[in-house]
Amino acid sequence: QVQLVESGGGLVQAGGSLRLSCAASGTIFSINAMGWYRQPPGKLRELVARITSDGSTNYADSVKGRFTISRDNAKNTVYLQMNSLKPEDTAVYYCNAVIQTHRSSVMFMYWGQGTQVTVSS
């Protein structure tokens, strides 16, 4: 059983900052890529940022230069530092991780429950 638990969401004024965390727990042999997605009200879920096991990153164009993704492999945790927040960043943010639970098992993608980020103008 694997769980991803997010924290750090909340209400912030435009121009402010928030840091999201997502910790994976349970039966984990290895974690490949980890990432953050978001779903604005009435819209589809979209990729925000992604980081591989060797630290390579990619970002949505809309957040480049403002958001930074990082991970602590010892803690099975991924972070999203969000600076210069805009009202259009308002969404439910979800973390995901591609996890192998045992040496012989296949990789599977797991999702967190989501955390609300609201940016007021």
Nearest CA to 115 among 96, 93, 99? Answer: 93
Plot region of 74 (φ>0 → left; ψ -120 to 50 → alpha; else → beta): alpha
Average pLDDT over residues 2-16: 97
Whole-number Å distance between alpha carbons of 70 and 80: 7
* C-alpha distances out from residue 111 to 6, 33, 99, 102, Å: 10, 12, 11, 18
Chain segment 53-92, per-residue pLDDT in tens: 999 999 999 999 999 999 999 999 999 999 999 999 999 9
Whole-number Å distance between alpha carbons of 107 and 48: 22
Tell me which amino acid residue 119 is.
V
pLDDT reported for residue 105: 87
The average confidence (pLDDT) of the chain is 96
User: Which residue(s) pair with 11 in the sheet?
Assistant: 118
